[in-house]
Structure formats: structure tokens, C-alpha cells
């Protein structure tokens, strides 16, 4: 009777007790003792976790179905654990045996009968192998968690780090350290934080600066995972838990989370080309209907042969009779100069504002002192009432019933808490420095002249700082100022710089 012999050696630990030589010798002795003929050996140096990952195991099962091996009666293994360490694998092997009539599974070190009792016995041994494999996995995971709790990642390390050269098996958990790619990783993060590039463009940039995979550009998904990896800020994730690592961060927290904000917004805020071509996109809206405007470019060719690109903004409802049609970008920039007029102050106006603010602050200071004195007297009075009330309650000399007197004590305590809160608010009240206010207003006053000297991209950025929205129509331009420019434009023109509130506590 012919047999296939299957030999598997997976880990260093198994080579100590079940080495290739040991398994091979045991198989030869078994065949000689029982009169079997060796029809071929299938030697595997892989784990038994998944039969799809074991080429020799798969090839052996396929050969059992071939006609040329019809005289092969079975498979001989050193022990059942050599051929199967999971239920799926064992079921697959038994199915192969059933498909090939008469094929049996023999063990060189275990006595298994070829009847229903032997099937039951082999199933039990396989179940124990599964249990043993599971326990080994549990112990391995527990040890890996211990490494993680110590701050040393038990998993793989990302690009930009390397493990120190190992000298002994015990040094497996040594702390990773940055390598020559660390500065390149930092450059990639800085470029990603600008928000001007999508992940595909960042992958191209990574290849340009030398972050490649065997000379080829990384896939954009790989770059995306790299940019989201907290390992670069001194943390790592293991089995769903975030741990603080002992390795040296190569990216600052601010830079890392700035990149996360960009990625969460969809990979890029605006492409570099869009920012250059359409600096007002996202700011201008239709004056008539309030809808956001879209933008496009038109190539103009002149008689002399040269050409130019003109940028236009148009309402989404451009086919409606109500809305205006298109607006040229250069005209919007020119008319936007008037936006800074309400923000400009003369020296006389700045002097008046300073005088008004000084007068208001003096009044506010005097009022605060009066309020504070009154609250301190009230606090002292309530302290005395509560102290006397507690003494009377203890001695039983309080007027009226005990319940009504307890209610009175609680009312005094609530009033005392309110007084303390108001005192704290007065003590923490922020004051305005008149000189600093004048400096800020002078800077805002100069925005108009600053705007005139900027290019179109810089003008667009400045307008987006000053305005939250810009309503554009035929011959119309109405800004919606952002904070704090709305206060400067509105209160400054009304000369009402000191909005008075009721300061009585």
C-alpha cells in the first residue's frame, strides 16, 4: 500500500521537538514496520493556520484526486497537529478523503483505528490541537499587550523608523528609532497641512522627494494611511487601544492634527490651481437671490496672436430673469476697494475714539468700585446673619417655627452665593488698553492701502479675512463683514464705541 508523507515545520520552537529529521525518520520507521510504500514527500515550512497559505498541502490534496495516484491509499503525518490546527482545515482534509474513496489519514506517533471509533478519536485530537493553538495565541497576545503597556509597539513600525539591530532574542522589543526617512516624512506632513493638495498629488510629491517603494511611487491609499498614523507623534494603536510609545516623535502634535483636519475635509481644501484661478470662490454670492456663485475661465485671443485667461463668476440661477448674469473677476477686485472705506479712520477720529474709550473706562472703573464696596458690605452682613442664625438654631432661641427659620437660613445662603458670584465677576472683569486699541484701529485703517498693492491671490485672501460674504450684482457690491471688522464698520461709523450694559449685579 502506498502513502503520501506530509512533513510540516513552522516555528523555531517546533523544530526543537518535531524537526524535519525527527518527522522524516518517524515516517520511515512507520512505513517499514507496517509494510507501506513511500509514494512521495510533501515538505512544508509554513504555519497550519490556513490551508490556502500552504502550497504543498494544497498540492498533495490535488494529487490525491489525480488518476496517476489512484493507487495511493492515504496520507502519513508525524501527528495530527502537523496537518491541521483549525476546524476548517480538518473538515477540508476529511472532505478530500471522502472524495477519494479509500484514502485514510495515518499518524506515525499516534494509534488511530480506521473505523468510526478512529474518526471520533481523531476529531478529539484535532479539537485539542485547536484548543492548544488558541491558548498559544492567547498567550502571545497577552505578551504583546504587556509590550504595548510598556510603550513598545509589538506590531510593525511605519516608514521613517527602524528597529535597532537585534543581537539576542530577548531584545525583540527594543524601541524603534527614526531613520534617514524621518525628515522626508516631516516634509510630507508639512505639505499636506497646507490643504492645497489631494492625496494623489501628495503621493507624487512623496516619490519626488525619495519616499518610494522599491523605486516606485506609493499608492495614494498607502500615503493616506501614513498621514493618519499616530505613531509619528509618539503613539500607536494595538488591538483597538491607543498607547503612549517610548519612541521619539518626528511630527509635532499641532502639525499632525492640522493634517487630520485637512484629510477629514476631503483630502484638500482647494486645489492649488483653483486657488490661483478663482481666489474669490466661496466668498461671492448673488446680490439678487443670495445663492453662492460658481466660477469659470474663458480664453481670450487677441489680434496680435497672444491670449489671456479671463475669470468670471456667475449665479447658479443664471437662467432666471431675476438674477444678474456674469461678473468679471477684475471688476469685482476693483470695486472691492470700497469695502475698506468704512474701516478707515482719520487722526481726529482716532483721537475722539481714544477720548471716548478713556471716559467710558473711567466711568466703568468708578462704577465697579461702588458696586464692589456695596457687595462687600452685603457679604459681611449676610455672613453675620448666617452665623447668628446657626447659633440661635443650636440654642433653640430662634423666633417662630423651626421649618420657617431653616428656610430663612437657606435664603440667606443663596443670597450670599449670588453676592460672591458677582464679586468674582467684578474681580475678573477685563479692561481695555486704549493705546492697544489705537494701534489695532490704525492697522485696520491701513488695510485699504495694503489691499491696493496686493496681487489677485493675496487680495482674495484679505477679502476672505475681512468679509464673511460678498454680495455681487450689476453695479452693486455689498460686503458682509466678519468679526471684528463688523464692529469697526458699524459702531465706528455711528461713533458708538462703548456699548453700555447694565452693570448692576
Peptide bond connecting 484 to the previous residue in cis, omega within 30 degrees of 0: yes
Burial (0-12, 13-18, 19+ Cβ within 10 Å), 89: buried
All three cell numbers of 263 = 484629510
DSSP string, 362-428: HHHHHHHHHHHHHHHHHHHHHHHHHHHHHHHHHHT--SS-HHHHHHHHHHHHHHHHHHHHHHHHHHT
Q: What's the pLDDT score for residue 317?
A: 63
Q: Where are the domains of the chain?
A: 2-138, 176-269, 271-505
CB count within 10 Å of CB 287 equals 20
CATH architecture of the domain with residue range 2-138: 3-Layer(aba) Sandwich (3.40)
Q: What's the pLDDT score for residue 487?
A: 77
Q: What's the pLDDT score for residue 437?
A: 67
Q: Kindly report the pTM of this predicted structure.
A: 0.40
Per the CB < 8 A criterion, the answer to whether 368 and 504 are in contact is: no
Q: Which helix (H) or strand (E) holds 106?
A: strand 104-107
Rounded Cα distance between 431 and 437, Å, is 11
Q: What's the pLDDT score for residue 85?
A: 57
Parallel, antiparallel, or unpaired: how do β-strands 37-44 and 72-77 relate? Answer: unpaired
Q: Where are the beta strands (DSSP E) in 229-292?
A: 235-238, 241-244, 284-286
Q: What's the pLDDT score for residue 87?
A: 58
Residue appearing with cell numbers 524537526: 19
Per the CB < 8 A criterion, the answer to whether 157 and 179 are in contact is: no
Sign of CA dihedral 175, 226, 244, 238: negative
Q: What's the pLDDT score for residue 496?
A: 56
The DSSP output letter for 168 is S
Q: What's the pLDDT score for residue 273?
A: 47
DSSP string, 458-497: HHHHHHHHHEEEEEEETTEEEEEEPTTHHHHHHHHHHT--
Rounded Cα distance between 19 and 16, Å, is 6
CATH code: domain 176-269 is: 3.90.1750.20
CB count within 10 Å of CB 288 equals 18
Alpha carbons within 13 angstroms on the beta-carbon side of residue 229 total 22
First to last CA, the chain: 104
Cα dist from 234 to 151, 156, 221, 246, 386, whole Å: 9, 14, 22, 7, 55
pLDDT along the chain (505 residues), means of 10: 81 60 84 84 69 71 76 79 63 61 73 68 72 79 85 86 65 75 92 84 87 83 90 88 88 90 64 62 84 81 72 72 74 89 77 72 80 89 87 81 85 89 80 66 81 86 89 86 80 54 42
DSSP string, 283-318: TEEETTT-PBEEEEEEEEE-TTS-EEEEEEEEETTT
Q: What's the pLDDT score for residue 118?
A: 65
Residue appearing with cell numbers 453700555: 500
Amino acid at each position: 500500500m502506498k502513502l503520501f508523507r506530509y512533513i510540516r515545520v513552522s516555528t523555531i520552537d517546533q523544530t526543537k521537538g518535531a524537526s524535519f529529521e525527527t518527522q522524516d525518520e518517524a515516517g520511515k520507521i512507520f512505513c517499514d514496520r507496517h509494510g507501506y510504500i513511500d509514494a512521495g514527500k510533501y515538505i512544508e515550512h509554513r504555519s497550519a493556520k490556513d490551508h490556502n497559505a500552504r502550497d504543498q498541502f494544497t498540492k498533495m490534496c490535488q494529487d490525491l484526486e489525480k488518476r496517476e495516484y489512484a493507487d495511493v491509499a492515504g496520507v502519513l503525518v508525524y501527528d495530527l497537529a502537523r496537518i491541521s490546527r483549525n476546524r476548517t482545515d480538518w473538515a477540508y482534509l476529511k472532505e478530500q478523503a471522502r472524495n477519494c474513496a479509500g484514502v485514510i489519514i495515518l499518524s506515525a506517533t499516534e494509534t488511530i483505528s480506521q473505523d468510526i471509533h478512529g474518526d471520533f478519536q481523531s476529531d478529539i485530537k484535532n479539537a485539542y490541537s485547536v484548543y492548544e493553538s488558541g491558548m498559544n495565541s492567547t498567550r502571545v497576545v497577552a505578551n504583546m499587550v504587556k509590550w504595548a503597556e510598556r510603550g513598545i509597539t509589538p506590531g510593525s513600525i511605519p516608514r521613517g523608523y527602524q528597529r535597532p539591530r537585534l543581537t539576542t532574542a530577548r531584545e525583540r522589543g527594543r524601541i524603534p528609532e527614526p531613520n534617514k526617512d524621518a525628515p522626508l516624512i516631516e516634509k510630507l506632513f508639512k505639505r499636506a497641512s497646507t490643504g492645497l493638495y489631494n492625496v494623489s498629488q501628495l503621493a507624487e510629491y512623496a516619490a519626488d522627494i525619495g519616499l518610494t517603494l522599491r523605486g516606485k511611487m506609493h499608492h495614494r491609499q498607502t500615503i493616506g494611511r501614513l498621514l493618519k498614523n499616530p505613531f509619528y507623534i509618539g503613539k500607536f494603536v494595538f488591538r483597538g487601544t491607543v498607547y503612549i510609545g517610548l519612541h521619539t516623535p518626528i511630527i509635532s502634535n499641532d502639525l499632525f492634527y492640522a493634517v487630520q483636519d485637512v484629510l477629514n475635509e476631503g483630502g484638500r481644501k482647494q486645489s492649488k490651481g483653483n486657488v490661483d484661478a478663482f481666489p474669490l470662490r466661496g466668498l461671492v454670492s448673488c446680490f439678487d437671490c443670495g445663492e453662492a456663485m460658481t466660477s469659470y475661465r474663458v480664453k481670450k485671443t487677441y489680434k496680435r496672436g497672444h491670449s489671456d485667461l479671463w475669470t468670471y463668476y456667475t449665479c447658479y440661477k443664471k437662467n432666471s430673469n431675476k438674477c444678474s448674469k456674469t461678473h468679471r473677476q477684475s471688476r469685482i477686485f476693483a470695486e472691492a476697494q470700497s469695502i475698506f472705506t468704512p474701516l478707515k479712520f482719520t487722526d481726529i477720529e482716532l483721537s475722539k475714539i481714544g477720548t471716548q474709550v478713556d471716559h467710558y473706562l473711567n466711568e466703568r472703573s468708578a462704577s465697579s468700585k461702588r458696586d464692589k464696596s456695596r457687595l462687600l458690605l452685603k457679604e459681611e452682613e449676610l455672613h453675620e446673619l448666617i452665623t447668628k442664625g446657626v447659633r440661635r438654631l443650636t440654642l433653640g432661641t430662634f423666633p417662630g417655627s423651626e421649618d420657617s427659620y431653616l428656610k430663612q437660613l437657606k435664603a440667606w445662603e443663596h443670597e450670599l452665593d449670588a453676592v460672591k458670584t458677582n464679586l468674582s465677576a467684578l474681580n475678573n472683569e477685563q479692561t481695555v488698553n486704549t493705546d492697544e486699541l489705537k494701534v489695532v484701529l490704525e492697522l485696520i485703517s491701513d488695510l485699504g492701502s495694503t489691499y491696493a498693492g496686493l496681487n489677485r491671490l493675496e487680495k482674495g485672501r484679505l477679502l476672505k479675512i475681512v468679509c464673511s460674504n460678498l454680495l455681487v450684482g450689476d453695479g452693486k457690491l455689498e460686503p458682509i463683514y466678519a468679526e471684528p471688522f463688523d464692529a469697526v464698520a458699524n459702531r465706528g461709523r455711528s461713533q458708538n464705541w462703548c456699548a453700555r450694559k447694565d452693570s448692576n449685579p
